[in-house]
Amino acid sequence: MDSSFLATWHQSSVTALGLFWTAFWAFGLGYLISAMIQVFVTREKMQDTMGEDGPRSVALGTFFGFISSSCSFAALSGARAFFAKGAGLVPSMAFLLASTNLVIELGIIIGIFLGWQFVVGEYIGGILLILLMWLVIRMTRGMAPIEEARKKAQESQADEEGDTDESKSWSEKLRSREVWAEVAKRYFMEWQMVWKDVTVGFTIAGIIAAFVPKEFFEWLFIGGEDPNFLELVAQSLVGPIAAFFTFIGSMGNIPLAAVLYGNGVAFAGIMAFIFSDLVVIPVLRVHAKYYGWKMALYILGVFLVIIVATALLLHYGFAALGLLPSADQVKAVTDREFFVIDYTFWLNMAFLALSAAFVGWKVKKSGFDASLGKGFLEKLLFWLALVAYVWLGIGLFIG
């Protein structure tokens, strides 16, 4: 086998593992916060306060999304629960958009790989997505089979897992061993929901960084870093379309976004790509299962429109303020020195210890719950993750 190919294979494996090593503590911190919120804040109270599509309900849907899990599939289930129990379509979708965009761990990962401008863009963009979604649904409401979809959602609504004991005060919960055991369980579940996406996403990012030449990205994303308006629109469309045919969630997309930005893709194209975790094939299939295909395609159309519009608004807004980032600030991932003794090392050690303690606690109380996942796509992603581990292991060995 060509020695240059083997060397590039080794580089791709080191890059993928290095990217994950850089981000591990951020995942751990984000999932710890998410697990604590899920345990200490009850979902039933959220559902009781959300009504139809008024400003208060949309604001509450956004807030509840902000404090909820960032896993796309957990967010889909939560939005379905709200909608099935009588919440309006707009606040339910606001919950979905907020819980996958306005989340702490995603901002941390974006800050690590892309810089503060992208973090600001993520949070401002999350609000813009919700406002534009509200506007588009109001304009196209006649096309949405809302009552038919609500009936379908009610039929598909599975029994929800019980909340923690509401009779306990916050101080009692903080001192309760049972409550912290539940936090450990939720922390384990967060990792269980995303490990396949993260594995495949970081592996693909390493492969693309090492193997794919910059000329390909210049061809795919028309116009490079300084596109005109039509080229910018094209880049904002390519981002969601590229994401649509992947199985990678928002967390796995971030290192790939860093690779794309380092290869000349404009700010708008990167933001559109990051926002596209809710327009991928697995999400479309889940929406169809929950609401029927007509509503699923309607939601997909709404989300595509608002993603492109938000990406363009962010690009021109940042440009007007002189805040557009430069690709020079994103060091080429293949040039990074990942494994050094610095703050990342010590934070990773701390969260490795915490993760080991939480996983051990959870397994001791309720077992490991190993599963390939439900549905063809989840099983496919499971096997792709195993293939990724083989690829990474061989790549490290040949080096």
Summarised one tens digit per residue, pLDDT across range 289-326 is 889 999 999 999 999 999 999 999 999 999 999 988 87
Residue 8 CA: distances (Å) to CA of 209, 316, 335: 10, 38, 13
Output the pLDDT for position 395.
Answer: 94
Q: How many CB atoms lie within 10 A of CB 20?
A: 21
Residue 393 has pLDDT above 90, yes or no: yes
Distance from the Cα of residue 158 to its chain's centroid:
23
Flag the least confident range among 15-29, 87-101, 331-345. 331-345
Nearest to 251 by CA among 29, 67, 43: 29
∠51-183-65 over CA atoms, to 5°? 25
Q: Say if CB 206 and CB 13 are below 8 A apart.
A: yes
Q: What is the 3-state secondary structure (H, E, C) of the chain?
A: CCHHHHHHHHHHHHHHHHHHHHHHHHHHHHHHHHHHHHHHCCHHHHHHCCCCCCHHHHHHHHHHHHCCCCCHHHHHHHHHHHHHCCCCHHHHHHHHHHHHHCCHHHHHHHHHHCCHHHHHHHHHHHHHHHHHHHHHHHHHHHHCCHHHHHHHHHHHCCCCCCCCCCCCCHHHHHHCHHHHHHHHHHHHHHHHHHHHHHHHHHHHHHHHHHHCCHHHHHHHCCCCCCCCHHHHHHHHHHHHHHHHCCCCCHHHHHHHHHHHHHCCCCHHHHHHHHHHHHCCHHHHHHHHHHHCHHHHHHHHHHHHHHHHHHHHHHHHHHHHCCCCCCHHHCCCHHHCCCCCCCHHHHHHHHHHHHHHHHHHHHHHHHCCCCCCCCCHHHHHHHHHHHHHHHHHHHHHHHC
Q: Tens digit of pLDDT for each residue in 326-349?
A: 766 665 555 667 778 887 899 999
Output the pLDDT for position 26.
Answer: 73
- What mean pLDDT is predicted for residues 96-101? 88
Which residue did the predictor score with more confidence, 115 or 283? 115
Q: Which two tokens stand for residue 55?
A: 């400003």
Q: Which two tokens stand for residue 305?
A: 């429109």
Tell me how far apart the alpha carbons of residues 228 and 132 are, in angstroms, rounded to a whole number.
23
Nearest to 161 by CA among 295, 38, 263, 69: 38
Output the pLDDT for position 127.
Answer: 96
Percentage of residues of the chain with pLDDT beyond 90: 25
Q: Say if CB 344 and CB 111 are below 8 A apart.
A: no
Output the pLDDT for position 329.
Answer: 64
Q: Tens digit of pLDDT for each residue in 138-148?
A: 999 889 998 89
Distance from the Cα of residue 272 to its chain's centroid:
13
Q: Which two tokens stand for residue 86?
A: 């009588």
Q: Tens digit of pLDDT for each residue in 166-190?
A: 556 667 777 788 888 888 988 887 7
Tell me how far apart the alpha carbons of residues 38 and 146 are, in angstroms, rounded to a whole number.
29
Tell me how far apart the alpha carbons of residues 354 and 187 are, in angstroms, rounded to a whole number.
10
Residue 63 has pLDDT above 80, yes or no: yes
Predicted TM-score (pTM) above 0.95? no
Q: How many CB atoms lie within 10 A of CB 230?
A: 10
